[in-house]
Structure 1
Amino acid sequence: MWLRCDFGSVAEPERRSWAPLLAVCAGYFMVILDVTIINVAVPVIGRELSASLTGIQWITDGYTLVFAGFLLTGGALGDRLGNRRVFCSGVAVFTVSSAACALAPSAPFLVAARLVEGLGAALIVPGSLALLQQSYPARAARSRAFGLWGYMAGIAACAGPLLGGLLVSTVGWRWVFLVNLPVGAACLALTPRHVARSPRRATRALDWPAQCAVVAAVALLTAALTGGTATVMGAAPPAYSGAASALFNTTRQIGSATGVALGGSLLATATDYSTGLRTSMAIGALAYLAAAGLAWLCVPGKPAPRPDIA
C-alpha cells in the first residue's frame, strides 16, 4: 500500500502535495530575503568597492525601485504568456543577476546587477500567488497555501539581517548574493516538475503606454518614500531621533494596511473591476498630493549657502 502526504483535506477529490508550495515559496523567499540581507553588508561593500554615498544608496534602493516599478508589468505578462513561464524566467534572471552581484568588480557594475535583480523579483512575485491559486483549487487548501506564503515573507525579512551579518563576518559580503544560487537552482528544478503549466492568453493585447505610465508612477513614488526617510530624520531634533523613527515607520505600516484594505473594499463593492480600480487610483493620487502639500508646508528647506566673507 502506498502512502502519500497531501496538502489539503483527504476528502477532496483533487489532492495536492507540498511540492508546488515549496517550489513557489523558495522563489518568493529569495526576493524578500534580498531586501533585508543587503543592509548589513553595505558598509563593507562601500569600503571594498570604494563606492560613493550615492553609489551605496543605489545599491540598496535601486533593487527596490525596479522591483516595485515592474510588479504590475510582471503580473500582466504572466496573464498573457503563462504564469509558470514568467515565474521561471524571473527566477532565472534573479539567480544569474545574483551571481553577477557576487562577482561585481566595481560599484557601478554592482548597481547594474542589482537593477536586473529587481526586474527578476518583479517577475517572480505576481506569478507566485497565481501559481498557488492554480495548484490548490480547494478553498481550504488555498487559504493555507496563501497563509504560508505570507509567513515566508516574515521569516525572510527577519532572517535577512541575521544571515547577512553571519555571512559578512565569516566568509565575506559576496556570499550575501551567492546564497541565492542554490535556492534559485532548487526552485528552477522543482517548478517545472511539480507545478502544472499555466494557460496562455497571447491574443490579449498589452497596453504598453499604460504599463510605462504605471512603471514611472510607482518608481517615482517608491523613490519619494525612500528619500522621505532621510527627510524625516533630518528634520527631527537629535534628542528625539528614536521617537521620530518609530513614528515614521508606524505611519508607513498603518498607511500600507489602510491602502490595501481600502483598495480591496473598493474593488469588491464596485459595479465592475475597472470602476473600482480607477476609484482606488484616484483616492491614492489625492492622498499623495495631500502628503506632498503637507511636506511642502511643514518640512523646512535647506538653508542657502552663505557666501564667504573676505
Structure 2
Amino acid sequence: MLWAQIAAMSEHVMICEVGPRDGLQMAKSRMETGAKCDWIAALAKAGVKEIEVGSFVPAKLIPQMADTEAVVRFAKEIPGLVVVALAPNLRGAQAAVAAGAHRVSIPVSVSEGHSRANLNRAPDEQVAVVGQIVEWMESAGNPAEIEVACSTAFGCSIDGVVPEREVVRIAAALAETGVEQIGLADTVGYANPAQIKSVVRAVRREIGPALRGLHLHDTMGLGLANALAGLEVGIRDFDAALAGLGGCPFAPGASGNIVTEDLVFMLESMGFGTGIDLAALIAARRLLHEGLPAEPMHGQVAKAGIPRTYRQAA
C-alpha cells in the first residue's frame, strides 16, 4: 500500500508514553517524586493521553520505582489521562488497582532466559500468573483494564533468536486467559522491519484484534523503521519514551525506547493524527532534564528543531 494512501486516511494513532516507567528504571539516579509528577503533568498537557507512570515492584530491585503509588495517585487526577502501571504479579496488580491505575500492564517474556532473569519464572508460569490476575479482577469486579506485553518477542540478548512460533504460542495462551489487550515488545531492540511484519501477521492470525500494539527499542537504530513497518501491517498503538530513555535492567545490552518526539513528528508528517502538540512535547524535555541532569537525552527533532514545513494532522 502506498504511504500516500495510508496518510490520506487521517487515522488516529495512540502513543503511550512509557518514559516515567521504562525510561526511569534504568536511570543512574532517582528522579524526585515532585519532579516526576510535574513532568507527567507536562506530558498530559501536551496531549499525551496514555502514560505508564511506574511499576509496582520491590524498591530494593528497582529503587527508581519506589514512589509509584504516590505517582499513580497524582496522575489519576489529571483529566482525560489513562494511567498505566506495570505489575509483574498478583500482589503488584492489586497494589496498582488500589492506587487507582486505570490499566495494569503485565510483562510476559517469550524467551526462557529473560523470563528467568526478569521474573524468576518460566514463560508458561508467568502466563499462569496472568490467569490469576484476570480471575481476581473479574471476581472483584474491578474496572481496571489488563494488558500484557510479550517481552523479547523479536529476540533476546540472553537466549538469542526467539522462534516466531513461540511468540504465537505464548500470545495464544495469554488470549486463552481472557486478556483482551496483548502487545509485542522488542525488549532488546533486535528487530528488523521484515521481522516486525512477519510476527505481527502471525500473531494476528492466531489472536485477532486482541493484538494491541508494539513496544519498540532503538538499540540497533531501527526503531522508527520498525514502527513504520508496524503501521504498514495495521498497528495503530505504540509505546515510546520522551528523549529515548529506557532499557531493561534484566536484558544485557538493551538501550532506550523509540523517541516519542521523533515518532510524533513522523506520524503527523505522514497524515496520522496523534493529538499531541509537538512543540509542547519537546518543551517537556526541560523538566525531564532538570529532574535527571546526568541522563543523556536523545532525539533528532529536538536536536534539529521543528521544520517550517511541519503541519499537525487534522
Question: TM-score, normalised to structure 2's length?
Answer: 0.22
| Greater fraction strand | 2
Q: Give the number of the structure with larger relative contact order, counting CA–CA contacts within 8 Å between residues 6 or more apart.
A: 1
| Greater fraction helix | 1
Which structure has the larger Rg over C-alpha atoms?
A: 1
